[in-house]
A and B are shown apart, each in its own frame.
Chain A
Amino acid sequence: MKAEKDCCAGRALGAGGCGRVAFERVDVAYHGRLAVRGVSLAVAPGRTLALVGPSGSGKSSLLFCVNRLIDLVDGATVAGRVTLDQRDVRSPEVDLLDLRRRVGMVFQRPTPFPFSIRRNLELPLQERGIAARSERADRLRAALVAVGLWDEVADRLERPATALSGGQQQRLCLARALVLEPEVLLLDEPCSALDPLAAAVVEESLAALKGRVTTLLVTHSLAQARRLADDVALLWHDGSAGTLAELQPTADFLGSPKSALARAFVAGAGR
């Protein structure tokens, strides 16, 4: 805990922090209807937190708060504080583009841009002002290697990204998020739209990243949470909104859930 504090001390958002994410009494509402209520939790740098819970319990809503993609959702309002390295991501001095470059995201469905594999990775780098060709090439390669895609596409980087298989597309999207060397990675059910084989490969890439970047993973699979996450947060819709029902290290959550809800969830999902 101490090391974490030192790492973040005195760093301004945008100066390259270490990726501590915290929610403080966060409410999310859509068109005035509460979807998430009073969620407080923190993810230490480099840790992976799995957000689990039934559909509609607000897992993705929380995720979208971190990179403020929630701003793009019609009628969405957020209350409370969401911080990255102790700075409120919604404070007016936060540069939104910079925030989103520090917080990478992978969606449920692969979202490659409709151009070549190379361009998919180079565009974010160019946009970030990395003009040196050699640096871009290095980063592109590193990102593709990190997701295990380099060997598969090294000789066809000019091919359209949309021609890749679903699993490859998803790994390309992961590489696109990684190419900017983010401090935080948001994964919104990254394997759920893929066939089991492709999902396994994507998960392997995610496992290889573990510890390198703070990760928030929304998943419906407790098995995946067990394999990837350090901690598990269970969100539950209590009838009026999604709330945090339990937060524990993964092994404890799965082995000895504290609340009755978590016990039921683990038992139900494990069946």
Chain B
Amino acid sequence: MRELATGRDVRGRIVAVAAWGGAALVVASFGLLVADLARRGAGELTWRYLIEAPRDAGRAGGILPIAVATVWMVALALAFAAPLALATALFLDEAGTPSAPRALRRAAAVTRRSLDVLGGVPSIVFGLFGNALFCRSFGWGYSLLSGAATLACMVLPLMVATFDEGLQRVPAAERAAAAATGLSRSATLRHVLLPRAAPLLLAGTGLAVARSLAETAALLFTAGYADGWPRSPLDSARSLSVHVWDLALNVAGGDARACAAALLLLLVVLALHGAVRGGLGWVLRRRSRGHGESVR
């Protein structure tokens, strides 16, 4: 960067200005976003706001049931998606080995392409799909469960891609060493592949959570937007982002409340980001220290 900035030629300077400008724009737009939300919503973001149920369509009261529903929805979505994503990533990894039969490789290629396409499908389409499959065919109606299942479908391509990348980054030499040591497939997976891939498994999960938290369109058609306490997984429930959408668009005088909820959502995402970073640091420290054993 410094080289660019002190570069003598004009082109170097243009590149430097563009690079710094781009970075500044990113930081500024994030700062502006936070500042704007804080200016308009921070006043509403009180302690009571966090622990009360909404009243008068959210114009008064708090958001506790919505926060709880959001946690449930994201947790259920992860519970659906994570095992499936891991299994798919392992399947893709297995199909990538030279000794894999041709049919397996072909199946993997088809799977990869399907996931690529799924990854580009707009969330509203997932919403309609989830509505048809989970709400109607499965008979789950507008519910937490339908919403979570739809979210799971939506984050699956993202999770598989990240998990797959994590597995692919395991050095070939380490796989060869595991094979040469006579480790079984499951032992190689448990002791070599998964620990090695752990940072990206964590990152993929974090991305999936963030994506789930941000989703609105897919949930409108599947989880609905009842703002009461969800009593069972089959109750309709409102996530935080749907709450923001509803306050901003459907509730007259709900603007400040919408900003407060959006600010809260942003803080949660930031906290999540911090947690993932912290988790990554912990995984890496643990690795450099041995396998969880204490240092003398």
Contact = CB atoms under 8 A, between A and B. Distances in A.
Nearest to A111: B177
B292 to A, nearest CB: 8
Contacts of B103: none
Contacts of B287: 114-115, 160
B290 A74 contact: no
A69 B180 contact: yes
A115 B290 contact: yes
A109 B196 CA distance: 18
A72 interface: yes
Nearest to B192: A113
A104 interface: yes
A115 B291 contact: yes
Nearest to A97: B182
Nearest to A119: B291
Among B97, B180, B287, B293, chain A packs the most CB atoms within 10 A around the CB of B180
Given A76-B98, A100-B179, A173-B177, A115 B295 contact: no
B173 A177 contact: no
A121 B61 CA distance: 61
B293 A123 contact: no
A99 B179 CA distance: 11
B282 to A, nearest CB: 15
Nearest to A71: B99
Given A113-B192, A156-B296, 16 more contacts: A67-B180, A72-B99, A76-B98, A100-B179, A101-B182, A107-B173, A107-B177, A109-B173, A113-B174, A115-B287, A116-B293, A119-B291, A123-B191, A158-B290, A160-B288, A173-B177
B46 interface: no
A98 interface: yes
A74 B290 CA distance: 32
B289 interface: yes
Given A76-B98, A115-B195, A127-B187, A158 B288 contact: no
Interface in B194-225: 195-196
A116 B179 contact: no
A123 B183 CA distance: 8
B293 to A, nearest CB: 4
B176 A114 contact: no
B178 interface: yes
A235 B173 CA distance: 25
Contacts of A163: 288
Contact of A100 (B181, B187, B196, B289): B181
B189 to A, nearest CB: 12
Interface string A69-106: 10111111000000000000000000001111100110
Given A72-B97, A114-B195, A119-B291, A124 B181 contact: yes
Contacts of B290: 115-116, 119, 158-160
A127 B184 contact: yes
B216 to A, nearest CB: 41
B137 interface: no
B13 interface: no
Among B177, B184, B195, B294, chain A packs the most CB atoms within 10 A around the CB of B177
Interface string A156-174: 1011101100000000010
B277 interface: no
A113 B196 CA distance: 10
A71 to B, nearest CB: 5
A113 B180 contact: no
Nearest to B191: A123
A113 B187 CA distance: 12
Contacts of B182: 97-101, 124, 127-128, 180
A124 B178 CA distance: 9
A74 B100 CA distance: 10
B20 to A, nearest CB: 38
Contact of B288 (A74, A101, A162): A162
A119 to B, nearest CB: 5
Nearest to A155: B296
Contacts of A76: 98
B124 to A, nearest CB: 42
A22 B180 CA distance: 19
A59 interface: no
Top 6 nearest A-B pairs (CB, nearest first) are: A115-B291, A111-B177, A101-B182, A116-B290, A100-B182, A105-B180
B59 interface: no
